[in-house]
Amino acid sequence: MRARSALSLDDEIVHRIFTFCPNSGTLRCMILVSKAFHKVYQANLKATYNIVGPALPQALRVLRYPYETPDGVARMEEDPDTLAADCPEDHAASVITPIELQYLEENSEVIVALEDIYSVTQKDRSSATSVLTAVESLRFRRAAYRIMFYCNLFPSTSGRLYGDELNVNEITHIQIQRTAMLASYPTDELLQLYAVLRFFQRIFEQVFDNPSDMDVLLTLGPRGAKRAWEKRSYGALLRKEFKLDFDDDKDCLCHRYFSLPLENIWTERAVDPPSDEEPATRFILDSIIGADDTCSQCAAPGGLALLTQANWSRTQLLPVQLLKSRLKQNATLWTPLHQAVSAHMADKLANGEDLPSYAADGPWIKSVFGVPKTSEWDGWTEDKSYCLPCLTKFLEEHVWRWLLQERIKAGWSPPEDCRYGYDCRSMVHKPSHAAGKNHLCVPKEDNDFKAHVLSKDQEHTTSLGQRDFAAAVLLPLQRQSAAAIYGSRVCRTS
């Protein structure tokens, strides 16, 4: 394209020439002596601003900070104040190189996704994309980029910058560096950073409930938080790009990763530390929408925690858990259910995304709401808000009907109905019976049936069928096998 330069060079080539300028002074001279160059420069800056938004200075610092010395050595011994002042957030116009632009886009995807999650969980449950105001969005993104930067600069012991063995004095020095780095921000912006950390913490708690390991998870920064939210799986955090180093030693680098420097700063500034008992959202948000809303069916209070189409992904319900009664334990249904759910998640799968392990996300739930309903379910629509018990009750009553409908649509001819329907106990133990009869049906009401159910309900709690269910309930809908998950938990103690 040559719209802006009016030179015999494409804009992209002019931009490329900019990237060879040895310093900003040379670049400034180049821009000042040529109006055409100046236009290309301005156009590029605007495009970058559109991608990243007003947190561009913080986003650029993530990329440009010299994490190592020119000799490739970690700066762990450097003076803390020097470290904190280096490569300051640059609010002046600055040329973005193509490679920087690529990294800005990649990081921006993470931050924007997290803002969407923050918005739907903390601001307004009815919108899957962020409805934060411009000011709220800046607070969130600025803090998130600063956390990203901090995590790059101070990785855990298994990170790329440090060796494995650090003595107590070295660790203490790094902790002082951390305090100095965070102390370079004003108090109100530090409180915003604290609020975003609390948000990440809530995400990590969903996949890993050991509070003593929270510091280690926080070292994963925004990218780890996003992945934890998307996968709801501890195993998903054990990929190569995430460096986890669990160490119970209080002298390890992760110990009080953010909390110690923040505590130092609150004390130094004589600021009342924020209470973990109070909502930290007040440091980011000026208003919350629907905070006092109640369940559309039972009027239970719920506010932002109520479930509706935009935030079904908050639930951690596995589809198989939503099958009615003993259908959950009918192994012959797991594969058809997986296929039916996958068919409604085709868009996500086509984009190379894994099927979420919880899989209560996406259009398949909407399609369950489309199943013909009896009159008692009139008014239960996907756009209304429900408490978890009400949503679960609705889904348990309709997922099996939906599965029957989907299987028939896919060409399945149901065999004869079993008289015990979804309450049948034999389908749990006898594969031939489970496959030979249709159990996606209502039990026939008669005395024999009642006697059958009542007597069997008193029996075992650890049948083979239930053990199979416990092991397999995770399998059909997770790329990570149960073995991988349990294996990873073993690894962290080894």
Interface residue list for Zn ion (CB under 5 A): 295, 297-298, 300, 387, 390, 418, 420, 424, 426-427, 437
Shortest reach from residue 91's CB to Zn ion, in Å: 49
Q: Which residue has the tokens 């392990």?
A: 357
Report the greatest alpha carbon distance in the chain.
96
Shortest reach from residue 297's CB to Zn ion, in Å: 5
In the bound state with Zn ion, the residue whose beta carbon lies nearer, of 197 and 390, is 390
In the bound state with Zn ion, the residue whose beta carbon lies nearer, of 94 and 294, is 294
Q: Provide the residue type at 145 as one letter.
A: Y
In the bound state with Zn ion, the residue whose beta carbon lies nearer, of 225 and 390, is 390
In the bound state with Zn ion, the residue whose beta carbon lies nearer, of 183 and 317, is 317
In the bound state with Zn ion, the residue whose beta carbon lies nearer, of 166 and 300, is 300
Query: DSSP class of residue 438?
Result: B
Q: Are 177 and 77 in contact (CB under 8 A)?
A: no
Return d(Cα 324, Cα 321) in angstroms, integer: 8
In the bound state with Zn ion, the residue whose beta carbon lies nearer, of 243 and 401, is 401
Q: Which residue has the tokens 């632009």?
A: 101
In the bound state with Zn ion, the residue whose beta carbon lies nearer, of 6 and 451, is 451
Residue of 105, 129, 259, 107 whose CA lies nearest to 193? 259
In the bound state with Zn ion, the residue whose beta carbon lies nearer, of 14 and 387, is 387
Q: Provide the residue type at 158 as one letter.
A: S
What distances in angstroms separate CA 217 from CA 69, 160, 234, 356, one per listed residue? Answer: 27, 17, 10, 20
Return d(Cα 184, Cα 65) in angstroms, integer: 15
Residue of 12, 47, 42 whose CA lies nearest to 27? 42
What distances in angstroms separate CA 182 from CA 151, 177, 214, 315, 462, one per listed residue? Answer: 12, 9, 19, 35, 53
Shortest reach from residue 337's CB to Zn ion, in Å: 18
Shortest reach from residue 376's CB to Zn ion, in Å: 15
Shortest reach from residue 294's CB to Zn ion, in Å: 8
Query: DSSP class of residue 70?
Result: T
Shortest reach from residue 306's CB to Zn ion, in Å: 8
Shortest reach from residue 393's CB to Zn ion, in Å: 8
Q: What angle do CA 91, 94, 97 make, to 5 degrees?
A: 135
Shortest reach from residue 434's CB to Zn ion, in Å: 7
Contacts of 69 (CB under 8 A, 6+ apart): 75
Task: Tally Cβ neighbours within 10 Å of residue 243.
Answer: 16
- Which helix (H) or strand (E) is 193 found in, with range? helix 187-207
Return d(Cα 3, Cα 11) in angstroms, integer: 8
In the bound state with Zn ion, the residue whose beta carbon lies nearer, of 268 and 383, is 383
Shortest reach from residue 325's CB to Zn ion, in Å: 12
